[in-house]
Amino acid sequence: MSTVRSDYLVIGSGLAGLFAAIEAAKHGRVALVTKRQVEECNTVWAQGGISCVMAEINGGDSFETHVLDTLEAGAGLCNEEVVRAIVAAAPARIRDLIDLGVNFTTRGEVDHACPEEIKDQYDLTREGGHSERRILHAGDITGAELIRALAAYARRHPNIVIFENLHAVDLITTRRLGWDDPQDQCLGAYILDNESGRVRTFLASHTLLACGGAGKVYQFTTNPDTATGDGIAMACRAGADIANMEFFQFHPTCLFHHEVKNFLISEAVRGEGAVLKVIKKGRLVEFMDKYHALGSLAPRDIVARAIDRELKESGQKCVYLDIRQRDTEYLQRRFPKIFETLKNLGIDMAKDLIPVVPAAHYCCGGVKTGIDGAVDLISRLYAIGETACTGLHGANRLASNSLLEAVVMAHEAIAHSLTAPVSDSLRQRQENAVPQWTSGKAVDSDEQVVITHNWQEIRSFMWDYVGIFRTTKRLQRAKRRIRSIQNEIELYYWNFLITPDLIELRSLACIGELIIDSALSRRESLGLHYNLDFPECSASPQPSILKRIKD
């Protein structure tokens, strides 16, 4: 059957997508589409945890303190109303996750010698930019535990049908179809079956983009290969506003090792006492205290820039995390995955320094929405999680706020969908008048090298010209290259049958251009965006919103 009909179409199987599907299944039929297996998503790679004020455990913490930490990290660009709403919603959403079977680590699991009366309390850790211990975690595999529990629940639910190895191509909107409606509306999406090569039509009353981030636009990233920004790119092509794409977060501590790529050394390692050090003139020295009062626990933008500067000054290839003050037993319990991975590479966390470098990690920009994920210019379309830009993160995301945002947005999006029922006339027209995908005169490609070459070139110049430190000249050079590549891709796209690789390349080119355009439009340095030609920040920073030309 080439057409799939449901009440909700959820594209993406990370925390935002799975939680949205589970919430939506209370109200109707759900089609959840993911381009690989459900468990192969960005969330799985999350190590640190999910932020939430747990006053019953840490009486010194409060919503207000969490809000202030978030605003401080966001460099004045956060939407304070959104920040307050998401922080306040955290305890209820954490309870939901626990009810769905998520097992967060308790204090007794980390410290066998802790008093009996607190052994069952959740163990809270601290990460960069947080003034209190408020991060719930599941060892150092929090993301994997979240997906384990939610995927198992979703697979059992009778109202959820999971479609794996399918790749979203484009949104179906009334404007795209040429319908004369006063408000553009999303009707679903055209989706490629990766195995058959056939494009199927998915129709739904409500469509949710939960496609994750876009770290693969950079040469060095902590993200998996699936993080190609497909949701942002599809929404952009459909005419949605895109905001704050210049703020791409570089995680300060990606493992530097020739045998392993993309392996993150969680910020929680620094939260438990690790200190950043660099070799200068043959001596191992600490350096973060001269950059920020919080030292190695400073916000990520500051730490990443500091590391980059220290590497350039010292000529070293990496800096080091030093947590040798902690014993083996503690590190094995607290960071089992990191400890085992490093041990297999010949690095003993309790005895050896851990080599690290910054790498692209998180997209603070995305489809402009509110906390409910609703896309203003296209009704019945939602963007949630890393695909969206609510204003929570501002110019720099506070550690472990992303998983919180994902689960809160998913809940709010489904609640909003209940206030926007579909009329019978539109439903009937949707059923009868949406055409099937047609490939026209496109043929199989005999030049796959175009895809691989352009993929490599985009990632290379994005790293060199649009990375941690930028200049206007570098950005302009990147703009010329991305426009040339965009023209090649569009010509290729219409002449040859689509493949998963082509879809992802098309997405990456779109993401690259959005980041470059946003960076060029901001003539100041703010948070994650640092332009050497404009080192000062204005007194009243404003969000950067790209209003795309509708196709």
Beta strands in 265-317 (DSSP E): 275-280, 283-286
Beta strands in 12-159 (DSSP E): 30-34, 50-51, 124-125, 135-136
- Closest to 192 measured CA to CA, from 502, 448, 499: 499
3-state helix, strand, coil in the chain (%, to 5): 40, 20, 40
Question: What is d(CA 108, CA 116) in angstroms, rounded to the nearest whole number?
Answer: 8
Across the beta sheet with 248-255, the strand order is 248-255, 354-363, 319-322, 275-280, 283-286
Question: What is d(CA 431, CA 203) in angstroms, rounded to the nearest whole number?
Answer: 8
The residues, ordered by sequence, that sit 6+ positions from 523 with a Cβ below 8 Å of its Cβ are: 531, 534
Question: What is d(CA 132, CA 67) in angstroms, rounded to the nearest whole number?
Answer: 12
Q: What is residue 104's DSSP assignment? A: P
The pair of structure tokens assigned to 212 is 């994750």
Q: What is residue 526's DSSP assignment? A: B
The pair of structure tokens assigned to 263 is 């392996």
Longest dimension (CA), the chain: 75
Q: Is 309 a catalytic residue?
A: no
Q: What is residue 43's DSSP assignment? A: G
Catalytic residue among 300, 380, 470, 522: 300
What residue type is assigned to position 81 of the chain? Answer: E
- For the chain, what is the total number of helices (H) and then of strands (E)? 15, 19
What residue type is assigned to position 396 of the chain? Answer: N
Which positions are annotated as active-site residues? Answer: 300
